[in-house]
Amino acid sequence: MSNIIRRPRRLRQSDSMRRLVAETTLSVDDLIAPLFVREDIDSPQEVSSLPGVMQHTQESLIEQVGKLADLGVPGVIVFGVPAHKDAEGSQAWNPDGVVQVALQNLSAAYGDRITVATDLCLDEYTDHGHCGVVLDNGEVDNDSTIELYAKVAVAQAKAGAQVVAPSGMMDGQVAAIREALDGAGYINVPILAYSAKYASSFYGPFRDAVNVSIANGGNRKAYQQDFRNGREAIEEIKLDIAEGADMIMVKPALAYLDVIAEARAKFDVPISAYQVSGEYAMIKYAAAQGVLDEEAVMMETLTSIKRAGADFILTYFAEAVAKKLN
């Protein structure tokens, strides 16, 4: 029997040794928590398809952000669920809209103690569920849509957003938003661009969280990326950076680790990845059936996303991870 033991195995002999030589370590500083604030509820409501994830009232949102700040989580991203929706999504830029009110509340409560980013899109606010203005032929009008994105960006910045995160995958959205922010005097508000956002099958529970369904059984494949394409993502990222994106995102994360790694190799801006609702729900449901260890898989998957090259991760596990690591 061979007695050959090679160096990699010698460095795996104890937990302390494995920790000492670990190439990638997940930190609380790597986390952003996605949060939902809803207009027409009196108490927080759990999203049925996202165990442990809540639609918050304004009051419970403030409380939840405080908990995350106390745990050392450096950032949250806020999604709004308005009581009224229309064809343009006008509540997205209403100064009294659900997200703008939330931003004012959070700014007053926490200041710069925690970074508050905002999803910048229209799908949560439109009655048809698309991310922009829909023409009579059913197509989304790119140029009219980015004009509205610019209005939303200024409204969010005015209300206190510290980062705006356009997620609609419209051509030219970053340039339009940067111009609008700069023109309104918000030159220090950075843009986190959803640059490589795929038309993924992993978004179902998120749509429950924001009460969105796409009219007439439609989809967003005409403007979100095709899951079969990787090189295209690099081109999208390149264009967004050229337009002024300060940070970029790959979404979803686990099925696109190759895209994260390629982006990390090619670009020097901060890169984020979104562990989306379907990824989270799969882990939660599998753990509930006893087929895997939720905490272990939570840590393994998030570490894999960081190992691929993400600087920070949007994840519904943010609070659980922070509690484990503190």
CATH number at residue 166: 3.20.20.70
Q: Which residues contact 138 (CB under 8 A, 6 or more apart)?
A: 216, 218
What is the CA angle 50-51-54, rounded to 5? 75
Domain residues for 66? 26-325
pLDDT for res 217: 63
Q: How far apart are CA 162 and CA 323, in angstroms?
A: 25
Residue 21 in domain: no
Q: Contact at 8 Å (CB) between 78 and 60?
A: no
Q: What is the pTM of this model?
A: 0.95
Catalytic residue among 251, 266, 284, 323: 251
DSSP, collapsed to helix, strand or coil, labels residue 267 as coil
What's the whole-number average pLDDT of the chain? 95
197 is a catalytic site residue: yes
Residue 207 banded pLDDT, cuts 50, 70, 90: confident
154: in domain: yes
Give domain status of residue 4, yes or no. no
pLDDT, one tens digit per residue, over 143-189 is 999 999 999 999 999 999 999 999 998 999 999 999 999 999 999 99
Kindly state whether residue 267 falls inside one of the protein's structural domains: yes
Asked whether residue 147 is domain-assigned, the answer is yes
Residue 1 has pLDDT above 60, yes or no: no
324 is catalytic: no
Predicted confidence (pLDDT) per residue in 312-324, tens digit: 999 999 999 999 9
Q: What is the pLDDT of residue 219?
A: 78
- Considering the domain boundaries, does residue 101 fall inside one? yes
Q: Give the pLDDT mean for 279-283.
A: 98
- Give me the catalytic one of 85, 197, 284, 306: 197
On whether residue 240 sits in a domain, the answer given is: yes
By the 8 A CB rule, do 145 and 131 touch? yes
76 occurs within a structural domain = yes
Number of domains in the chain: 1
